[in-house]
Amino acid sequence: MTVQLRADDGTASLANARRRGTALPAFPQPLPASLDEAYAMQNRILMSLEMPVLGWKVGRIPAPMVATLGAERLAGPVLRCTTLTVSPGEARVFRGGAGAIEAEVILRLDAVPGHIPPADRVLDYIGEIRAGFEVASSPAPDVHDHAPWSIIADLGINNGLLLGPLLDRGIFDQLDVETMVAGTVVGRGRARDVLDGPLGSVRFLIEQHLKGRIALEPGQWLSAGAITGVHPIRVGETAHATFGWAIAIGCTAIAETGLE
């Protein structure tokens, strides 16, 4: 299917920058003016890249905008997913763009429900649950200055998931998580304390699927949101995260070279 990229809203600039692995001087103007416009732009970029969607990430709407927009979360597609077989793994970030690392709970969707399940039935649709990182990187260095429109439009600024060890289904959201970047502790937290927790993020993604904004499929990985915060990382820096006392993962930021 041929997709006509729109130059007037920056779709072509963002898609080509991601394809080539190059940075932009700034986020293209004009910005989307609504959530629907932002998701429509995301979909145009996604379709133009013609890559399989391996999962979906969840991010936060800026707190001052939650009441106005009627939403606490945003969604973006995952086009790259790597299992951490060695530590540290590699996290690709755009040199000259924006780059961040997030410690997350990542859940594999085994079946797509036709309704939004109650919180106590969400795990019926989930297979594996893993510790991991979301690599959050955009070609636009000022992408965070225009949230949430820019974040949503630019594929949720997801640039891949790094899958770590399995987590116990009974306690995965209760583990104390700590993140370090370049040897400094940058955040601590528990997944259950972020809004209504990882299962709330899954319910949000199901809702977006039922609304037609995104397309969930069995086997996709769902990255449930930053547990300790969104932490800037530069090429050459290494991040580590611990989940409880037994699980530790790490990654080193390397320069993005593109999707081609």
Give the pLDDT confidence of 167-221 residue by residue, as tens digits. 999 999 999 999 999 999 999 999 999 999 999 999 999 999 999 999 999 999 9
What sign for the dihedral angle of Cα 127, 201, 153, 103? negative
Do β-strands 81-83 and 238-243 pair in parallel, antiparallel, or remain unpaired? unpaired
**Exposure on the CB side of residue 170, measured as CA atoms within 13 A:** 0
Where do the structural domains in the chain lie, given as residue ranges?
A: 11-255
pLDDT digit string (tens) for 17-56?
999 999 999 999 999 999 999 999 999 999 999 999 999 9
**Mean pLDDT throughout 114-134?**
98
> Could you tell me which CATH class the domain 11-255 is placed in?
alpha beta
CA neighbor of 132 nearest in space, from 10, 218, 227, 254: 227
Take residue 98 and report the two structure tokens written for it: 């924006």
Residue 3 confidence (pLDDT) above 70: no
pLDDT score recorded for residue 87? 79
Confidence of residue 10 (pLDDT cuts 50, 70, 90): confident
| DSSP string over 8-31 | TTTHHHHHHHHHHT---SS--SSP
